[in-house]
Amino acid sequence: MTETKAVKSEQTRALIVQTALRLFRERGYEATTMRAIAKEAGVSVGNAYYYYGSKEELIQAYYDELQDEHVAACRAVLDSETAFAPRLLGVLRARVDTMVPYHEFAGKFFKFAAEPTSPLNPFSAESGPARDSAVAIYREVVEGSDLKIDKEFRKELPELLWIYSMGIVLYWVHDNSPGCRKTYLLVERTVPLVNRMVAMSRLPGFKSVTRELVGIIREVRA
């Protein structure tokens, strides 16, 4: 009985999230109320608030769901490749693959996520779990690769790659090409550049620059 109840609870939770995303796409994030979400999902307003205390929590659930999809989509390349560039390319392609179905919604929603004080901002404290999960993917890209670089730079590289991926996401939001073709092209053309820059960090003339970069990152983070 308890297991059946748990399954039903997860189904209700998923239904509320999917209904909210549909209404956000159709009516806009600002115009969609929790009452409207509950009505469309066929649950009481109190039940909707039981699962999600606000619209912001629903978006965080969307972040988590999208992140889970990305992790699953990355598995094949991360389990089969050891070279850094193919691992990074596969992970970024998978990122775009999982985002494409939400492209129309992302364009309407971006102005809220871009607000520095918004809990929906990917750099906010509320987005911390999804952000940590995303950085963990890039940590796996680095740690599972054959990269031979300075160990301190190696520690910071996953977060730098996540920031690079956020630039890809920003471009994708504004990409109106069919099937987001230009975003895929951007990924394919920039990964080799990133690979070369990372490889150059091993060269004697660049080691001091790399260490300075690591110092700046840690100082800003503190």
Q: Domains of the chain: which residue ranges?
A: 1-53, 56-221
Mean pLDDT calculated for residue range 191-198: 95
Residue 159: phi, psi to the nearest 5? -70, -35
**Which distant-in-sequence residues (6+ apart) come within 8 Å of 175 by Cβ?**
103, 182, 183
pLDDT attached to residue 163: 92
Backbone angles phi, psi at 27, to 5 degrees: -110, -15
Count of CB atoms within 10 A of residue 63's CB?
20
């699962």: which residue's tokens? Answer: 51
Q: Does residue 25 surpass a pLDDT of 80?
A: no
Do residues 188 and 88 touch, judged by C-beta distance below 8 A?
no
- Of 8, 6, 129, 5, give the one whose Cα is nearest residue 57: 129
Q: What DSSP string describes 12-73?
A: HHHHHHHHHHHHHHHH-TTT--HHHHHHHHTS-HHHHHHH-SSHHHHHHHHHHHHHHHHHHH
Taking only the tens place, the pLDDT of each residue in 87-135 is 999 999 999 999 888 887 777 777 777 788 888 788 888 888 888 999 9
Token code pair at residue 15: 């239904």
pTM for this one?
0.83
Does position 1 have pLDDT exceeding 60, yes or no?
no
Higher pLDDT, residue 37 or 215: 37
User: What would the pLDDT profile of 56-88 be if each residue is shown by its tens digit?
Assistant: 888 888 888 888 899 999 999 999 999 999 999
Residue 126's pLDDT is what? Answer: 83
pLDDT score, position 3: 60
Burial state string for 123-138 with b = 16 or more CB within 10 A and e = fewer than 16: ebebbeebbeebbebb
The pLDDT of 165-193, averaged and rounded, is: 95
Question: Which pLDDT score, from 0 to 100, does residue 209 have?
Answer: 80
Nearest CA to 109 among 124, 121, 123, 95? 121
pLDDT tens sequence across 137-174: 999 999 999 999 988 899 999 999 999 999 999 999 99
Q: Which CATH code fits 56-221?
A: 1.10.357.10
Residue 211 pLDDT: 80
96, with CB counted inside 10 A (0-12, 13-18, 19+), is: buried
Dist. CA 109–CA 106, nearest whole Å:
5
Nearest C-alpha neighbor of 161 from the set 189, 193, 194: 194
79 burial (CB, 10 Å; 0-12 / 13-18 / 19+) is: exposed
Report the CATH number of the 1-53 domain: 1.10.10.60
